[in-house]
Every structure is written in structure tokens, then in C-alpha cells.
Chains A and B, each alone.
Chain A
Amino acid sequence: MKQQQEIIESTLQFIQNQLSSEDDFNEQALQIFSYQYQHNLPYRTFCMQKGKTPRMVKTWRDIPAVPINAFKEVTLSCADPNEAAAVFMTSGTTKGIKGKHYHPILHIYNRSMTLNFKQRFMKDTEKIRMGVLFPTAKELPNSSLAHYLALGMKEFGTEDSHYLINDNGVDMDRLLEELSHSEETGEPYALVGASFSFVHMLEKLEGMGKTFSLPKGSKILDTGGFKNQSKELDLDEFYQLLSSILGVDRAECINMYGITELSTQFYDNGNTNVPSVKSGPHWIRTRVINPLTGEEVSKGERGVLVHCDLANFNSVTTILTEDVGIEVDCGFLLLGRVEGTQAKGCSIAVEEFLKATKEFPK
């Protein structure tokens, strides 16, 4: 497997090299494409069907984007999936089939995560006392988010950092202790975790009538949506509440956007205004396309996001998401996930059908 080693090395080099140009990105993307075309059989079939062979593909924009659904149907891996160091899985769907993302090594994923996390969340801070509102990687071995948060805590958390989730959800006693501690000592605190856990936490704090004024340097990182959770908040309300209850400026409330099928995350520069502009590091690029034609929409128009992540050296670099967004200067606005559509007329919609067939066993 000399080739894999070469790809890993060039990928690492690319990630380290802050000053890479458009041409460099292109070159690296095409190199990985031809590697994946060669070693990832289902992907090759997919590309051939689209008439896109390495000879036809001239820029990273031409690389066929694999719909995230494909991760459920086929094994997308250049290396033997049985020897993967980690398999990250998506949460279940209507059919209960999970998408699988194979990582033969975690080194690149981790490097991608830490470089980016440092730059976009930690900034000038080296270490911070952290509270994690998500289960541990041990509890959720196939969750990329659990791995991500564990890594964040290991690399950037002080020794007093803690998980704040127990069997009943948010460990309120521990959380209150931590928040008070930070308020009293003036030691900055970072709360990181799933957006919906924050919603639960806010509900409870509101119920108790507790507010805090965390010291300067404290920050918040939330990720994932919180729709269909106990309480539906809109984004603006969410950050307003976070900021007023914890006393952290909305500019220090960062939202991370990541999907299991990628190895790189996107961040915003705070949520003073929502929706905030998301962007990623130099080894990932995003296009906004019309899902019907696959062509890019003009800047400022709504479309579906396609990401080309060079840290995805083993699966496929280019992914067609189900997320709607708009390209803007310096990044994109994330407008949410494309949910199942309701029928407009009186014909049954797939969603309703699936639901009904589940409710009434045949």
C-alpha cells in the first residue's frame, strides 16, 4: 500500500501549508481523485456512469459529487474497510440504515480538526477549562461528533475539563458547580456540545431562574440542529438566550457545521447576526448547486451545498449534501437541511407512506 502512504503524506503536507493557492488545491484534489477512482470501486462505477474519468476531470469542480445517501448504500473506501481505525456512522434514518464513513487512520482527521479548531474556536488561547455537553467517545464509539469533542477536550481542555452529560441528560448539579466556579474565580470557561443539549440546558436554567455572567474569554461552541427537540427555538432566540443566561457575548458563541461524511468542519465567527457566515480552512471548498442540474447557482441564490474536502483522502473528497445554503463573500450561509417534502396535491407523499406502513404492520 505504498500509494496510500503517499496520499497521506501529500494530504498532510497540503493541510500544513497555509499558503496554498487555487492551483495547489486543484492539483491535490485531482491527485486524490485519481487515487480514489483507482481504489474505490463503487466510486469508480459512479464516476464512469457520469462519464467522468480522471482524464475528463480537469478541476476540482468537475469531480463527481457523491450524495451523502451513498454512504448508506455502498462502501466508499480505498482501504480495506475491515481494517479501519474508526468507522463513523450517521444517525439512523427513516429506514434505519446508517451511513458509514471509514477512516483507515485517524491522523489526518485529527490534524484537520485540531488545526481548524485552534484557529477558529481557541484562537489565542492555548488551553481552557471545558465542559462537554455530549456523551463520551467511549459511549458512542461510532459518533464522529463524540470523537471530535473528545479530541477537542484532550488537546485544548485544561485538566479540570469535564463531561456534563449523565444518564438523565445534562448533569445540572455539575454544570451549576462549573459555572459558579468560573464566575467566582474569573477563570474563562468553554461550553461545547450538541445544540439540542444546549436547548435542554437553557430550559432548565430558565426554569430555575439562574443566570450567570461568565468571565471574559469564556466561549461557547454548539453544533448540529435542535429542531424537533423539546422546544423549538429559532436561531436568534437561541443565541439571545445563551448570551443572556450565561453572560457570554454572542460574538463568542461559535457554531460548528460538520457532517459525518467529511473530515473537516466549518465554523462561523460568532453569532451576533444569524444566519452567520460559515467557512472552512484552505483544504476544503464549497460549491452551491442546483440539485436538479448539478450546475452552480449564481452567487446569492439558494442551492444545495457540495463540499470538496481534501482531508477525505480515503472515501471520496466531494460530497453532495442535503443542506441548503447561499454563497456569500468569505463563505456561505447555511439555511438548514432539506426536509422531506409534503405532497402539494392529494397524492400521497413518500414520507407519509413510510410512516403509515410503519404504523400499521402488514
Chain B
Amino acid sequence: MRETAGYLPDIGEEFEKKVLLFRDKEEVLEVEIPLLTEEQMDKVIQKVKKASAETLKSFSVMELVKIIDQVIDRLLDRNTSCRQKAEKLLPIVTGYSEELIRLGLTSYLKNFRKHELQRFLIEDLGNLSLLDEFQPRVKGGFSKAIGPDLITHIWSGNVPGLPLWSFISGLLVKAGNVGKVPSAEPLFAGWFARLLVEIEPRLSDCFAVVWWKGGNEERERSLFKQTDVVVGYGGNESLQSIQSRIPITTRFLPFGHKISFGVVSKSSLDSHKAWHSARQAALDVVRYDQQGCYSPHLFYVQNGGNISPREFARYMAHELDNFEKRFPRRSLSMEESASLASWRQREEMDIYSNPYKEVLGNAANDWTVVYEENDISFSPSCLNRMIRVIAFERIEDIIPSIAPNRSFLQTVGIATSPKELFHWAELLGKIGLTRITALGNMTSPEAGWHHDGRFNLLDLIHMVDIESSAEEESERFAPYVD
């Protein structure tokens, strides 16, 4: 099978092609992606910038919302060819099971329908027209939000569709967009771009979805120089190297790799409710095999409920085993397999010196739950369905071991009573957590969420104020002035 990735405005030239190979079990997929020379890249940038200024900025925000809504509609509809293609090819590219991709896509795409997009806008701007024309302000004067001419997105990772957050945000602020897709999932962003153009051909020059080998310094330097905002995803090391190439006049919004975890209160641990919580927690582990920044690395479970943390760990093991049948884990590379096996063996070996510990798993190593009683230290999982369940007494006991990792913290999945929810949120927010959600929802953030505590749109735009003095003074010069 062969599929073309990426999207480019027409600059009247042919592009060299690079083929990326993907293999999943029997299926082999060749993904062909255009490889631009630096001159071609410059032409594309100019074209996108021009179209952004002349075309994109002539649309009203609500017009853009409706166009995006139509694209999402098509992607949500399982009868459309684009959706069917996504369901067929993404499992091959990412290795995730078909069922997981199908459910994941739907729950994810729902975030970008018209009403949710309006939520994005109102969340950040408070006024849907602020990007269209000057809006009166309470204190006097007027303001308008202006999006940049060009945003460059450096996307990363294999969680399908992830580029949509920043791509759509870029469109909503009427910026030209150049996005670099990751080799791990080069398809989705290009499909989305092509659908946009199919629905509104006037947008055809407003964005480009490209690929180049990461770390190409000269190319990146030249691109960043022509860019107003760079949105980068990836590990700190690669973000650092991107940053080193960005001129001081270009704004950089880095989204580094993150750690998320869960906290389960004793108040949720009675014999009826605990099963449900364990099931939801297991789902958070299963979805994308913990590869997302919002995926849990560990669960802290409180002592003192009807169901003990040890029992909770066993419940989770049971659920993970069940889910393995419906959502089998993606096939792992030899490196991943070996690292996973060695992680589990090390845990098993640790039992010699720590008799309270328990390591639960099946013979095929499809998942592992490690139960820990005396060691509350915060350490990352090796992912791919390896989860640690740690018993704790009071939230204040675990906070000190989590706090030092502030720069990596993101989501916490919580099961607790209302009063405790706000108390814990207070404490967890203070040490750097930015998103608190229910178990089972960790991998699907709400529309308009504050990604890593930041804003989707506000960070991209700048404001132009007409101060009241200018407005008042202008009256003196009106042709109709007495």
C-alpha cells in the first residue's frame, strides 16, 4: 500500500519524494512525503504568508469555525472515505489496535466541532469577534486580537491526530501555518489540510504540512527567521536544540514531554465503587499504551477504605487483563520489549528485599502492575502498560516526592469526594499539576483545556489597543465636526 503524506500549496514545481516504511504484522505501508529544497521551502513560506494576510484574514472567525466543523464532521462520519482510510492506515503506522484508534479518534475529534471551537475562543478571548474587528472595552477604548502571519509547528510523537490542537488553534487566529509532521505519524495532519481545502478551496495556500529530517540546522534557522511563532513538541533535548535556532524576535512555545499520574482516595474505595475506579484507571493505562503526556505513570491509592490499595492493584491487574483482549497492546520493537522485560524483572527481583511488594502480570508480559507499600517515591514507568500502584496514608505524605518534578507534571486523574477534590486540587496545583480530571478521562482533555496550563489562542496572538484618548481626539477631526 502507498499513501501520500503532507500538503503543499501549488508553487508550480515538482518536489522530491521521500518514502517512509511502516510495518504492522503482515501489512506494509509506504508513506510518500515531499522533500523540499531550501529554495522551495522559501517559496512555500512566502506563499503561505501572503495567503494568510490576504485570504485567511478576510474570513471571519465564525466562518473558519464552520469550515473546520465540516472537516471534523467528515472525519467523525465512519462512512466517509477519509475516515475509513484513517481507521485502516493509522493502526499500521502507529501500531495501536484498530479498535483503540477508532474509539480514540472519535473521542478526540469531538473536541473540534463547532460548539467546542466556540468554547476554545470564548475561553481565551471572552468575545468571539475579537479576532475579526476592534471590540469596545469596558474601561474605554477598543481592542483587536491579531494572529501572526506565520506559525511553525514542530509536531512529534505517534499519538494520532495530536497536531490538530495547535494546527486548529493556528487557523482560528488566522495565521499561516507550516507544520512539520513526525516520522512516527506523518499522515493525519496532511489529511486534515487536504480536507480543509476540499471544503474551502480559497484556503489552499494558507498552510503547508511538510517533513524534513529533524535537526537540519540550516533549514530550521532559515524557517524560524521567517516565522512569528514556533510551537514545538518533543523531549527537552530536542526542544533545547530547536530553541537554539530561534531568533529572539520569534516567540517559542515549547511543549515538553510530561508525566501524569492518578490519586485514588479512600472515600472512593468501597466494594461497589472501587471496581469502577479500577476499570477507569486501567482504561487510562490502555489508551495509547501510556504514550500520551496525559497518560498515567503511577497511581497513588489511599489506605483506609473498604478496599485496600493492594486489592485495588489486583483489580487493576484484572481489568488490564480483560482489556488486553479487546484492545491488544501495539506490537513492540525488540528494544521496547527488552526494556519492558528488564523493567519487570528488576521489579520482581526487588521482592527479595521487599516482601510487601507485589508484581502482577501475565506470562506474555502484556501488562504489569507493581504494588508498592513502603516506597512512595515518584518514578516514571517504562510505559507500554506497566503501572505502579503505591499505597499512601495522607496526601501530604506524597506531595514532597512529587513536587521536585514540577517541570514535568501535567495531568492527575482523581477519584475522590467533592470536598477532598478541591482540597487536593489546591495542593496539587501548587506543586505544578495543571490538569485535574476523572479517572478514565486522563487521555481525553476537554475542549478549551489549558494545555500544560497555558492558553490555546492567547499565546499565539497579540492585541492592538485603540486607547480612548485616540478615539476621543479623533472626534475633533471628523468632517462633520461643528
Against B, the Cβ 8 Å flags (1 = close, 0 = not) of A36-70 are 00000010011001000000000000000001011
Chain B residues with CB below 8 A from A352, complex form: 235-237, 257
- Contact residue among B237, B297, B333 (Cβ-Cβ distance under 8 Å from A347): B297
- Contact residue among B94, B259, B364, B407 (Cβ-Cβ distance under 8 Å from A292): B364
Against B, the Cβ 8 Å flags (1 = close, 0 = not) of A314-327 are 00000010101000
What's the least CB distance linking A304 to chain B, in Å? Answer: 5
- Distance between Cα atoms of A2 and B348 in the complex (Å): 33
Answer whether A338 and B334 are a contact pair too, CB < 8 Å, given A344-B157, A347-B292.
yes
Q: Which of A286-334 touch B at CB < 8 Å? A: 290-293, 302-304, 320, 322, 324
B336 at interface, CB cutoff 8 A: yes
B258 at interface, CB cutoff 8 A: yes
Chain B residues with CB below 8 A from A340, complex form: 339
Q: Classify chain B's interface size.
A: 35 or more
Against A, the Cβ 8 Å flags (1 = close, 0 = not) of B137-160 are 000000000000000000011110
Chain A residues with CB below 8 A from B408, complex form: 348, 353, 356
- Distance between Cα atoms of A303 and B333 in the complex (Å): 10
Chain B residues with CB below 8 A from A73, complex form: 346, 349-350, 352
What's the least CB distance linking A85 to chain B, in Å? Answer: 26
Chain B residues with CB below 8 A from A362, complex form: 404
B125 at interface, CB cutoff 8 A: no
- Distance between Cα atoms of A67 and B408 in the complex (Å): 31
Chain B residues with CB below 8 A from A18, complex form: none
B295 at interface, CB cutoff 8 A: yes
Chain B residues with CB below 8 A from A357, complex form: 404-405
Closest residue of B by beta carbon distance from A359 = B236
Asked if B158 and A345 make an inter-chain contact with CB atoms under 8 angstroms apart, the answer reads yes
What's the least CB distance linking A22 to chain B, in Å? Answer: 27
Chain B residues with CB below 8 A from A293, complex form: 363-365
A350 at interface, CB cutoff 8 A: yes
- Distance between Cα atoms of A67 and B237 in the complex (Å): 30
What's the least CB distance linking B348 to chain A, in Å? Answer: 7
Closest residue of A by beta carbon distance from B349 = A73
Answer whether A69 and B345 are a contact pair too, CB < 8 Å, given A324-B338, A346-B291.
yes
A230 at interface, CB cutoff 8 A: no
Answer whether A291 and B340 are a contact pair too, CB < 8 Å, given A350-B380, A356-B236.
yes
B255 at interface, CB cutoff 8 A: yes
B335 at interface, CB cutoff 8 A: yes
Asked if B339 and A341 make an inter-chain contact with CB atoms under 8 angstroms apart, the answer reads yes
B290 at interface, CB cutoff 8 A: yes
Asked if B380 and A303 make an inter-chain contact with CB atoms under 8 angstroms apart, the answer reads no
What's the least CB distance linking A338 to chain B, in Å? Answer: 4
Chain B residues with CB below 8 A from A353, complex form: 259, 379-380, 408
What's the least CB distance linking A319 to chain B, in Å? Answer: 12
- Distance between Cα atoms of A322 and B340 in the complex (Å): 11
Candidate in B235, B255, B348 with the most chain A CB atoms within 10 angstroms: B235
Closest residue of A by beta carbon distance from B366 = A292
Chain B residues with CB below 8 A from A67, complex form: 341-342, 345-346, 349
Please report B residues at the A interface, Cβ cutoff 8 Å. Answer: 94, 156-159, 162, 184, 233-237, 255, 257-260, 288, 290-293, 295, 297, 332-342, 345-346, 348-352, 363-366, 379-383, 404-405, 407-408
Q: Given A74-B349, A324-B334, A352-B237, 14 other A-B contacts at CB below 8 A?
A: A49-B351, A69-B342, A70-B345, A291-B334, A291-B341, A292-B332, A292-B364, A293-B363, A293-B364, A343-B383, A345-B159, A345-B293, A346-B233, A347-B297
Enumerate the 3 nearest inter-chain pairs by beta-carbon distance, A residue then B residue, closest first.
A345-B291, A362-B404, A291-B341
